Amino acid sequence: MSESRLIVEDLREPPPGFLSGDLGGEALHRAFGAAGIENFEVGYLRVWRDASPVAVAPYQRYMALALFEDAVGD
């Protein structure tokens, strides 16, 4: 059995054609990311196997600690 090499790439924007044909596809994800919601980050993990992309998973990171620090002060 031959081994496959997996590489995970962290993207700041959805890759071209992301969820093409879906209402929640690339255009929606780009617009959401461009909205610039404070303390909220959107990214995409793209997995490659032997130089071919095999999966893309969106993620969202809400930085609650920054909000807590703002609320209680320094």
Per domain, the residue ranges of the chain are 6-72
- β-bridge pairing 40-49 and 6-11: antiparallel
Mean pLDDT of 35-63: 86
Confidence check: pLDDT of 8 > 90: yes
Residue 39 or 57, more confident = 57
Residue 64 or 57, more confident = 57
For tokens 């919601």, the residue is: 37
Mean pLDDT of 48-70: 80
Q: What is the pLDDT of residue 68?
A: 65
Distance CA 13, CA 45 (A): 10
Q: What is the average pLDDT score of the chain?
A: 82
Contact (CB, 8 A) for 59 and 36: no
Distance CA 71, CA 58 (A): 29
- Sequence-distant (6+) residues with CB within 8 A of 4 are 49, 50
